[in-house]
Every structure is written in structure tokens, then in C-alpha cells.
Amino acid sequence: MSTKRKADDRGPLKADCLWRDVFNHVTSRWGFLILIALADGPMRFYVLRNRVEGISEKMLSQTLKSLMRHGLISRHVQDSIPPQVTYALTDMGHEIAERLDSVSNWIGDHVAEIARMQTQFDQGPN
Amino acid sequence: MSTKRKADDRGPLKADCLWRDVFNHVTSRWGFLILIALADGPMRFYVLRNRVEGISEKMLSQTLKSLMRHGLISRHVQDSIPPQVTYALTDMGHEIAERLDSVSNWIGDHVAEIARMQTQFDQGPN
């Protein structure tokens, strides 16, 4: 019984629940990177596209929509000619971006060590 | 110039670097979930497969190998008949799993709020 309760507590390990669904969107390759990029402040679409290297406009557009739907990003239209559209983290977006940043920074701090492990693994017996 | 330095600091936003490569493996849907599952302690292959609902044996096997190659998971063979194989987080694995857990727990704490945002978004004008 305790194992079951424990498994229920760890939401994303269970399939077919909203937790897993949100998890998959937030931690999708592009979702993760867009949230981290926007932690620097609101950005226009093309600025964001250039920051997140390798993302296509279609994928950026789709991922922004999905993150807006999850309440993590908001879209602001400035009443100018032509209208300027910017994307920004919401309060919830800031909270999760902070946590994703901590994952990303940890990786950055350990890249050399991980590269060493990879070389060791590739040289050793499989 | 300061913008460029800033962009270089945020490693995973740049394509074609090891940071992004590690990032993609660690934050792959299954990599993320396997690391969180193993935070509870060493596990045998089939126990892990049952914990991480929805993962296929092939995908589990591939992802474990990739995480081992990155030095985040170790494989232990106990000299018994039949030999028992368990997988465990390494010290580096524990460090990153802790950070991923914080992301996952945040999502768990905000699932209801996110569901409300989704309903609102779906009802509003696109």
C-alpha cells in the first residue's frame, strides 16, 4: 500500500494524468528552452526565435500557444502601427523558469565532467 | 556585445554544443521521468518499467544507456544466480534528479491552477 501511495504522489510517473500532460509540455525540448529564454524579459517573436537557436517559426508558434494555454506565458499587443507583439512569462511562468534554470545551470557547470564520462563510456566495454 | 555574452552564458539556447546535447538527453520525456523515479533508490529494470508508466522496454533500455553514458546512472550486477541487475543514480544523477524533482513538484502543486488556465484559454478568443 505504501508503494502505491508513493507512486501516486509522484504524479508524472503515472500516465494519463494532467500532471504528466503539463510535464510533457513544459519539459518538451522547445518548451524548456523558450521558458529559459524568456526569463531574461519579454521578447518579440523574432528576437525569441533568434535566441532559441534551431527552432523553426512553426515550432516556436506552436510551443508559445501551448505555453500560453498552460498559463505560463502571456502575449501582449501594443497599440502601435504596426502593432508590436511581445511574449512574457506570467507569474507562474517565472516560478517554473527559475526551476528550469537551476537544471540548466547545473548542466552548464558539469558539462566537462559529463564529457569525460561519455569518453570513458565509449572506450569501455558495452 | 553584452547581449552576445549573455547569450553565450545561457548554453542550451545555442545549438550544436554539448550543453544542448546533454540538455536534450536529460530533459527528454523519458530521461526526466527515469531520473525522478530512481530518486527513490536503486531499482531493477522491470520495477523501473512499471514505475514509469507508459515506457516501452526498448525505450527504457535506450534511455538508461544514454543516462549511463552521461554519468548520471550506474548499473550494478549482483553475482547471484540468476545475476540481479539494478540501476541507481550516481552522485551527479542525484544532484540533477533533485532539481528535476523541484520542477515536477512545482507542477504537481499547480495542476489545478493550470487546468483552470487551460479552460479559460479554450473558451476565450484565439
The ipTM (two decimal places) reads 0.82
Do the strands B43-44 and B84-89 form a parallel or antiparallel pair, or are they unpaired?
A: antiparallel
Average pLDDT, chain B: 85
Tell me what pLDDT residue A29 has.
78
To the nearest whole angstrom, how far is the Cα of B3 from the nearest Cα of chain A?
Answer: 10
Give backbone dihedrals phi and psi of A17, rounded to 5 degrees, phi first. Answer: -135, 160
Lowest-pLDDT range of B9-18, B29-38, B87-96, B117-126: B9-18
Sheet hosting strand A84-89, strand order edge to edge: A43-44, A84-89, A73-78
Chain A residues close to B106, C-beta within 8 Å: 95-96, 99
- What residues in chain A have per-residue pLDDT under 50? 1-8, 10
Nearest to B106 among A37, A96, A111 (CB): A96
Give B56-97 pLDDT, tens digit per residue: 999 999 999 999 999 999 999 988 888 889 999 999 999 999
Instruction: Give A5: exposed, middle or buried? Use CB within 10 Å, 0-12, 13-18, 19+.
Output: exposed
Q: In a mutagenesis test of the B interface, which of A5, A8, A13 is the best target, namely the one with the most B β-carbons within 10 Å?
A: A13
> What is d(CA B77, CA B56) in angstroms, rounded to the nearest whole number?
22
Tell me what pLDDT residue A77 has.
92
More confident of the two residues B45 and A24: B45
CATH code that applies to domain B2-123: 1.10.10.10
Among chain B residues, CA nearest to A109: B19
Instruction: Please give the torsion angle defined by the CA atoms of residues A27, B88, A112 and A31, in that order, rounded to the nearest 10 degrees.
Output: 0
